[in-house]
Amino acid sequence: MRSYPAELRARMDDGPMSRLQWSAIAVCVLLNVLDGFDVLVMSFTSAAVSAEWGLSGSQLGLLLSAGLVGMALGSLFLAPLADRIGRRALILVCLTVAAAGMLLSAASRDAVQLGLLRVLTGVGIGGILAASNVIAAEYANRRWRGLAVSLNSTGYAVGATAGGVIAVALQGSYGWRSVFAVGGVATALLVGAVLWRLPESLDFLLTQRSPRALDRLNALLAAMGRPPLDSPPGAPEAPAAEPAPRLRQILSPAHRRNTLLTWAGFFAVMFGFYFVTSWTPKLLVEAGMSAGQGITGGVLLNLGGIFGATLLGLLAARFALKRVLVGYTLATAALLTVFVPATSVYGLVFALGALIGVFVNGCVAGLYALTPSIYPPEVRATGVGWGIGVGRIGAIVSPLVAGWLLDAGWGPGRLYLLVAAVLVAGGLAVHAFRIPAAAAPAAVAAGEGR
């Protein structure tokens, strides 16, 4: 009976998807819906919060950035724990942290308390995102892996859109605190969903050389209708040397090139994504449109994002994901260059806004799908977590740079050209990735030669 990790992964890649695999991916999508809601919950409630506490623009800006700061911290410093304690275990811990942060935010007494709680909530969300995207990639077979991870980003767009609807419905009758309370309850309910339908990562269990890990692994294989293993995979005859710290491993000569390129790609793509989603309504007004038309443009960006990630996943089922992702970054850059000049034709600019939403959301989805293929299982969550964390730094920097350049006299057209150039740089970084020939779980779906 075969008991080697590579052979088991090959059977997973080439075999059909079981109900357990699809349900695991569905839970990961729900976790990303939470991300979409949480990232924008402060935006949805900002006017009411500012009115209640008399906040200045800079104070409100700090509150809007606090969640992103927490997400960066969670991705950089909490997500790597998934390689030590397990992806599922970390998700449960982070859900508890995020639920507590959201519920306590509903009871905050001033802006300082709310800001600190936004950071706490963001830390939990940052850890969830890295681990859930890794699990989605690991439970999908080769054909559907790109779609599985792309659906996670679709979940983000769904959460962002639904969050706006929920916020409008609740704030009029119950105030802004009710939006945080509902978010906290929904987050707590996801703990039950994870305990019920999200199994531990197979690739993580394959790195755990113990009888208990073998029992858990065989239970999962049985649930997926696959034959069990007869011994812990790759069990060494002699004790292995203590491994180097995981951050040092992803920066070792074997992984350094791809790690730095991953960081550059995430930074550039999230810089562009958060510029587009944060500034488009205001910049459309600056370009001569009405406030209502600016808001409409922003809504169309989110709606386009629902389709963009799904389209990328479907394309990745037929073509190499790396090439699809490079195409997405270049298409986004091209659309941004013509967006502001088109503001004189309302129908055209709204159509372009929806298309930009399709492609810029797909860029984020593609990076989430591609990055797990670069790292071996024992450092995969660390690699993905640090990539997302560096990307969050780009998300934090982007609105600040845009505001500074506007104050310096830049117009909307020049700003969009700058962001287009940043996205082209991100596409070049992705193009330079070297996907390992035997990478798991996404070597073929994300790599070359397809």
Question: At residue 110, does pLDDT exceed 60?
Answer: yes
Q: Which one of 67-71, 161-165, 316-320 scores highest in mean pLDDT?
A: 67-71
CA distance readout (Å), 27 to 158, 303, 377, 429: 14, 22, 21, 31
Shared-domain flag, residues 267 and 406: yes
Residue 314 lies in a domain: yes
Whole-number Å distance between alpha carbons of 140 and 443: 12
pLDDT at 380: 87
Q: Indicate whether 49 belongs to any domain.
A: yes
The band of 418, judged by pLDDT with boundaries at 50, 70 and 90, is: very high
What's the structural domain count of the chain? Answer: 2
Best-predicted range by mean pLDDT (222-236, 304-318, 391-405): 391-405
Tell me what pLDDT residue 6 has. Answer: 66
CATH number at residue 433: 1.20.1250.20
Residue 94 falls within a domain, yes or no? yes
- The answer on pLDDT for 272 being more than 90 is yes
Average of per-residue pLDDT across 94-114: 95
Q: What is the mean pLDDT of the chain?
A: 83
Residue type, position 193, single letter: A
Quick check: 260 pLDDT over 50? yes
Q: Are residues 265 and 405 in the same domain?
A: yes
Asked if residue 9 has pLDDT above 80, the reply is: no
Q: What is the pLDDT of residues 340-394, one digit of tens each?
A: 888 778 788 888 888 998 899 889 888 988 888 888 888 888 898 899 899 989 9
Instruction: Kindly state whether residue 333 falls inside one of the protein's structural domains.
Output: yes
pLDDT tens column, 276-307 = 877 676 667 677 777 666 667 766 777 787 78
Q: Are both 128 and 187 inside the same structural domain?
A: yes
The answer to whether 275 and 402 have CB atoms below 8 angstroms apart is yes
Question: Between the CA of residue 376 and those of 51, 182, 205, 328, what are the distances in Å?
Answer: 50, 38, 13, 26
**What 3-state class would DSSP assign to 144?**
coil
Residue pLDDT, tens place only, 192-206: 999 999 999 888 887
Sorted by sequence, the CB contacts under 8 Å of residue 444 that are 6+ apart come out as: 13, 142, 450
CA-CA distances (angstroms) from residue 434 to 125, 240, 250, 377?
29, 28, 14, 17
Q: Pick the residue with more confidence: 425 or 316?
A: 425
My answer on whether 38 and 181 are in the same domain is: yes
Asked if residue 369 is part of any domain, the answer here is yes
pLDDT at 263 over 50: yes
Calpha distance 161→440 (Å, rounded): 33
Rounded Cα gap, residues 26 and 230, in angstroms: 30
* H-helix segments, 74-144: 82-85, 87-105, 111-139
Mean pLDDT of 40-64: 81
Whether residues 326 and 435 fall in one domain: yes
Q: Do 213 and 257 share a domain, yes or no? A: no
Examine the fold and report which residue of 223, 258, 279 is the final residue of a domain before the chain moves on. 223
Write the CB contacts of 108 (distance below 8 Å, at least 6 apart in sequence). Answer: 114, 117
Q: Identify the domain containing residue 423 by its residue range.
A: 246-446
pTM score above 0.85 = no
Residue finishing a domain among 208, 223, 238: 223
Contact partners, residue 148, CB within 8 Å, separation at least 6: 25, 28, 136, 137, 139, 140, 313, 369
Q: Reply yes or no on whether the pLDDT at 158 is more than 80.
A: yes
Are 108 and 40 members of one domain?
yes
Mean pLDDT for 152-174 is 80
One domain, residues 272 and 181: no
Query: Is 164 in the same domain as 57?
Result: yes
Whether 147 and 284 share a structural domain:
no
pLDDT higher for 303 or 259?
A: 259
Q: Is residue 232 part of a domain?
A: no
167, part of any domain: yes
Given this model, what pLDDT does residue 41 score?
A: 82
Same domain, 205 and 264: no
Residues 123, 154, single domain; the answer is: yes
Q: For residue 327, is it within any domain?
A: yes
